């Protein structure tokens, strides 16, 4: 890049919200040139971009919340050939010292890009990975609601009159629900009539959620088989776990520059916690918790059924490691093993689209 273009470059920073985005532009030398607030619609995005370009050449932009409030703006900026970088919000200690305002946050976003602090490439949200993330959101809420429903139904049966409890209580949820789904009356009192109605409604809700989960699981099976065939072939990887790992990786393979990057996204990369003569690492509590849980599930399956993993667990147990420590190590090794398959599936999906 020639010196003239560098001198004319300006950096855009955006603090995103539900109804309004606040933008700031700084020069290549770090001088604040101006701020602007625009509504969160296409006209507002184009107005923001035109305003930023009035200050100079916009090649890079730091945007907060590219996966939520800033998703629409990020798509528009990428469509205009601007490199969009994900910016984390300032830490609380810095905010306590310097105060907080939307223009300040936008300016800090631009300065993060200028200084090189912001390097994360946001998800493009344009392909199979985003589709898997979307349907996985619905699956998680359906599973939670289904569990809550059966717990409520059984809690009512526990406190119900003894004859009703003995008749309707079953060990298996399906049998318990089947008995309650066709209840018409339990007695003539208001309490028993209300109990019968409530049990019937809860049973029908459970059946509806079970049918919804069956439909979602069928869709995930089809999606992962088509878009992540290499990942699905690996031991212990099912439709739900494959969808969670592909979703956290995103549709743009350039985000995963190494297997360590994927481990960080999944929250399984140990963090340095050394001081003085003490050299140690601590558990990473960051990253996507759904992907972390998917790795936990894969590790559990392999610990039960895969000879290679069972031998590893026996060896590490003999060395004095606890089950939790062994599980953490396994999750990190699983990421290392699955990384090339995830990357290959992402590249193949990107080439198809």
Instruction: Give the model confidence (pLDDT) of 190-232 as tens digits.
Output: 888 999 999 999 999 999 999 999 999 999 999 999 999 999 9
User: What is the pLDDT, as a whole number, of residue 57?
Assistant: 92
CA-wise closest residue to 87 among 9, 14, 11, 10: 14
User: What is the pLDDT, as a whole number, of residue 220?
Assistant: 96
Instruction: Give the model confidence (pLDDT) of 314-349 as tens digits.
Output: 999 999 988 888 998 999 999 999 999 999 999 888
Cα separation, 75 vs 68, in Å, equals 12
Output helix, strand, coil percentages for the chain, rounded to the nearest 5.
60, 10, 25
Residues β-bridged to residue 63: 14, 86
CB of 346 within 8 A of CB of 128?
Answer: no
Cα separation, 335 vs 276, in Å, equals 31
Cα separation, 58 vs 49, in Å, equals 9
81's tokens: 């050939």
CB of 202 within 8 A of CB of 145?
Answer: no
Q: The dihedral of CA 71, 75, 80, 82: what is its sign?
A: positive
183's tokens: 């209840």
User: What is the pLDDT, as a whole number, of residue 286?
Assistant: 78
Cα atoms in the 13 Å half-sphere on the side-chain side of 49: 22
CA-wise closest residue to 42 among 13, 65, 16, 73: 73
User: What is the pLDDT, as a whole number, of residue 100?
Assistant: 76
Domain segments of the chain as ranges:
3-115, 128-227, 229-352
CB of 10 within 8 A of CB of 55?
Answer: yes
Matching residue, tokens 């809860």: 202
The CATH superfamily of 3-115 is: YqgF/RNase H-like domain (3.30.420.140)
Matching residue, tokens 């020639």: 2
Residues of the chain with pLDDT under 70: 1-7, 89-99, 277, 279-281, 353
Helix (H) or strand (E) holding 18: none
- Most distant CA atoms of the chain, gap in Å: 89
CA dihedral in degrees (275, 277, 279, 285; nearest 10)? -20
CA 206-209-213 angle, to 5 degrees, is 135
The number of beta carbons lying within 10 Å of the beta carbon of residue 44 is 19
59: helix, strand or coil: strand
User: What is the pLDDT, as a whole number, of residue 263?
Assistant: 92
CB of 176 within 8 A of CB of 150?
Answer: yes
């Amino acid at each position: 890049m020639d010196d003239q273009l560098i001198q004319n470059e300006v950096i855009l920073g955006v603090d995103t919200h539900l109804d309004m985005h606040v933008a700031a532009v700084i020069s290549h030398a770090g001088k604040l040139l101006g701020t602007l607030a625009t509504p969160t619609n296409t006209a507002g995005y184009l107005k923001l971009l035109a305003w930023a370009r009035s200050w100079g050449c916009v090649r890079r932009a730091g945007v907060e919340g590219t996966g939520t409030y800033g998703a629409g703006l990020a798509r528009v900026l990428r469509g205009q050939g601007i490199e969009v970088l994900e910016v984390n919000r300032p830490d609380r200690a810095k905010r306590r010292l310097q105060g907080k305002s939307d223009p300040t946050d936008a300016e800090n976003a631009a300065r993060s890009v200028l200084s090189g602090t912001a390097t994360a490439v946001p998800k493009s949200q344009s392909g199979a990975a985003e589709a898997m993330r979307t349907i996985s959101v619905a699956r998680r809420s359906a599973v939670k609601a289904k569990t809550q429903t059966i717990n409520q139904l059984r809690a009512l049966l526990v406190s119900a009159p003894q004859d009703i409890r003995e008749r309707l209580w079953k060990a298996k949820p399906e049998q318990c629900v089947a008995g309650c789904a066709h209840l018409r009356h339990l007695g003539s009192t208001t309490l028993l009539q209300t109990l019968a109605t409530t049990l019937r409604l809860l049973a029908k809700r459970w059946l509806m959620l079970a049918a919804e989960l069956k439909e979602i699981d069928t869709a995930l099976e089809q999606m992962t088989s088509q878009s992540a065939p290499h990942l699905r072939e690996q031991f212990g990887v099912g439709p739900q776990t494959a969808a969670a790992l592909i979703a956290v990786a995103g549709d743009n393979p350039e985000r995963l520059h190494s297997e360590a990057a994927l481990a960080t996204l999944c929250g399984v990369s140990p963090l340095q916690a050394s001081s003085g003569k003490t050299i140690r690492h601590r558990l990473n509590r960051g990253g996507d918790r759904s992907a972390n849980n998917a790795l936990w599930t894969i590790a559990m399956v392999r610990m039960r059924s895969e000879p290679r993993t069972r031998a590893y667990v026996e060896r590490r147990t003999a060395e004095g490691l606890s089950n939790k420590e062994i599980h953490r190590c396994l999750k990190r090794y699983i990421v290392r093993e699955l990384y090339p398959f995830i990357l290959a599936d992402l590249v193949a999906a990107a080439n198809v689209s």
